[in-house]
């Protein structure tokens, strides 16, 4: 780590210990800082006036860790995907002073956080999220995570697109483990669900002109969850939306930015009011090719061929999608990542969705332009086989030959 020198908009020279990569991130942060300086008139020694920095929530005393083994009053049999607040969250920050390097992450009590009204995330949507699950192990004490490094790398990739610094893979995975252990009384019993983990990366620093924020917060909170769709494991009913799109070429559909989700609320609510489970989106150029559902990927099965839309920037590269592709290939199916048209869909035997929240969800019907198409569900379907294969690994019921699970003891 050599000492590098950054100059602010006002020409003040700011000493900063930066590596090459961190320096590039610091430049991104620096351009954001100019806006802050323009209004703050900040000093060169402290980049952000203290009162403008977002405050860390109350910190956790090392002795104040939850050691209870169960969540007490929770009705484990009726967990949906609702928000059950847990005990602790993890918070780590990074500002220009830190040269784009996160450090000093800590657990604190779960609760509200304070943000400047002019924070980048509130004004310009500079934010990313992740989603993952921790399962209780069947055989002995402890918990398992599923491919958490993949979530860490996806956050890094998204951070680049959103002009944010990101935690290292090691920091991310360590933070997730700490969050699970601190909230271990909230991990549902085997088979009843999982502890859902929600990592966030947000531009928490103040900025007025459109630019990257001068400070970033990485935060992880947790909530026990059961099934995502209220149908539970029952097949779901989708409707194709051909007038509204969730992504476009060159946009941000391929990263898990928070800005992709508020725009799908309206079509989703409309679909729900008509009795559908969710919306299936088409590509915005030809309006002919399947993309994905609001928060999960889609697959179609015809004969022994399993096809899913290729990820070319408009589809979120799901970790469940990637895992299911591998599991299906191992089981002798021909798996194709390609354009999947409406015609392919109409002709399919089976349709299913994949995602951390939904796992592998069979699709019973898809409605397109008023016409309802039916698909096979239930026993002996490809989706059911893949659901079993995936969840057995995730829940520790089958040997993990792929090294996908990470133990937390």
Q: Find the binding residues for ligand PLP in span 28-87 (CB under 6 A).
A: none
Q: Does 98 bind ligand PLP (CB under 6 A)?
A: no
Strand partners, 281: 241
CB of 96 to ligand PLP, least distance (A): 30
Measured from the CB atom, is 204 or 394 closer to ligand PLP? 394
Binding mask 118-137 for ligand PLP (x = CB under 6 A): -------------x------
Measured from the CB atom, is 215 or 292 closer to ligand PLP? 292
The stretch near ligand PLP (CB under 6 A) out of 211-219, 225-233, 349-357, 398-406 is: 349-357
Binds ligand PLP by CB under 6 A, chosen from 47, 155, 316, 327: 316
Size of interface with ligand PLP, in residues (CB under 6 A): 14
Based on its alpha-carbon atoms, the radius of gyration of the chain, rounded to whole angstroms, reads: 23
Q: Does 183 bind ligand PLP (CB under 6 A)?
A: no
Are 107 and 63 contacting, i.e. CB atoms less than 8 angstroms apart?
no
Q: Does 263 bind ligand PLP (CB under 6 A)?
A: no
Binding mask 229-258 for ligand PLP (x = CB under 6 A): ---------------------------x--
Measured from the CB atom, is 29 or 360 closer to ligand PLP? 360
Q: Does 297 bind ligand PLP (CB under 6 A)?
A: yes
Per-residue 3-state assignment (H helix, E strand, C coil) for 98-137: HCCCCEEEEEEECCCCCCCCCEHHHHHCCEEECCEEEEEC
Q: Does 340 bind ligand PLP (CB under 6 A)?
A: no
CB of 280 to ligand PLP, least distance (A): 12
3-state secondary structure of 18: strand
Contacts of 380 (CB under 8 A, 6+ apart): none
Q: Does 283 bind ligand PLP (CB under 6 A)?
A: no
Q: Does 156 bind ligand PLP (CB under 6 A)?
A: no
Q: Does 327 bind ligand PLP (CB under 6 A)?
A: no
Q: Does 203 bind ligand PLP (CB under 6 A)?
A: no
3-state secondary structure of 324: helix
For residues 299 and 353, what is the distance between their CA atoms, to the nearest angstrom? 6
Tokens encoding 263:
């725009």
B/e letters for 199-231, b = 16+ CB within 10 Å, e = fewer, are bbbbbbbbbeeebbbbbbbbbbbbbbbbbbbee
The stretch near ligand PLP (CB under 6 A) out of 74-82, 265-273, 278-286, 318-326 is: 318-326
- The whole-angstrom distance between residue 35's C-alpha and the CA centroid of its chain comes to 29
Q: Does 321 bind ligand PLP (CB under 6 A)?
A: yes
Measured from the CB atom, is 105 or 309 closer to ligand PLP? 309
The stretch near ligand PLP (CB under 6 A) out of 60-68, 209-217, 335-343, 354-362 is: 354-362
For residues 393 and 49, what is the distance between their CA atoms, to the nearest angstrom? 49
Residue 133: active-site member: no
Give the active site residue among 256, 274, 302, 322: 256
- Spatial CA neighbour of 29 closest among 102, 90, 80: 102
For residues 2 and 335, what is the distance between their CA atoms, to the nearest angstrom? 48
Contacts of 137 (CB under 8 A, 6+ apart): 143, 144, 190, 396, 407
For residues 377 and 339, what is the distance between their CA atoms, to the nearest angstrom? 23
CB of 235 to ligand PLP, least distance (A): 19
**Active-site amino acid positions:** 256
Binding site for ligand PLP (CB under 6 A): 131, 256, 292, 295-297, 316, 318-321, 354-356
């Amino acid at each position: 780590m050599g000492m590098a020198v950054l100059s602010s908009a006002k020409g003040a020279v700011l000493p900063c210990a930066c590596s090459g990569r961190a320096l590039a991130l610091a430049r991104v942060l620096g351009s954001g800082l100019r806006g802050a300086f323009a209004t703050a008139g900040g000093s060169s020694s402290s980049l952000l006036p203290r009162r403008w920095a977002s405050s860390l929530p109350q910190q956790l005393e090392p002795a104040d860790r939850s050691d209870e083994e169960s969540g007490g009053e929770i009705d484990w049999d009726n967990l949906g995907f609702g928000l059950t607040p847990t005990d602790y969250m993890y918070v780590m920050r990074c500002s220009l002073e830190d040269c784009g390097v996160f450090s000093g992450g800590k657990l604190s009590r779960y609760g509200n956080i304070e943000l400047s009204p002019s924070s980048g995330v509130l004004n310009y949507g500079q934010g990313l999220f992740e989603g993952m699950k921790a399962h209780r192990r069947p055989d002995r004490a402890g918990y398992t995570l599923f491919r958490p490094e993949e979530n860490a790398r996806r956050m890094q990739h998204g951070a680049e697109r959103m002009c944010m610094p990101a935690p290292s893979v090691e920091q991310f995975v360590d933070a997730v483990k700490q969050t699970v252990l601190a909230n271990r009384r909230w991990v549902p019993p085997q088979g009843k669900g999982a502890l859902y983990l929600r990592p966030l990366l947000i531009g928490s620093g103040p900025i007025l002109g459109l630019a990257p924020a001068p400070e970033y917060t990485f935060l992880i909170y947790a909530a026990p969850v059961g099934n995502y769709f209220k149908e539970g494991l029952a097949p779901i009913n989708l409707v194709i939306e051909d007038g509204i799109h969730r992504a476009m070429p060159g946009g941000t559909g391929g990263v898990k930015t928070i800005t992709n989700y508020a725009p799908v609320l309206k079509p989703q609510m409309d679909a729900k009011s008509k009795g559908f489970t969710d919306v299936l989106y088409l590509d915005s150029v030809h309006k002919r090719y399947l993309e994905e559902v609001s928060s999960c990927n889609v697959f179609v099965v015809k004969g022994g061929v399993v096809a899913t839309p290729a990820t070319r920037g408009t589809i979120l590269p799901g970790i469940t999608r990637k895992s299911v592709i591998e599991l299906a290939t191992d089981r002798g199916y021909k798996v194709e990542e390609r354009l999947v048209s409406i015609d392919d869909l109409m002709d399919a035997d089976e349709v299913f969705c994949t995602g951390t929240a939904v796992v592998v969800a069979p699709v019973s019907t898809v409605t397109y332009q008023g016409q309802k198409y039916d698909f096979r569900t239930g026993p002996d379907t490809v989706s059911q086989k893949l659901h079993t294969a995936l969840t057995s690994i995730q829940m520790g019921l089958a040997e993990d030959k792929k090294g996908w699970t990470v133990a937390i003891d």
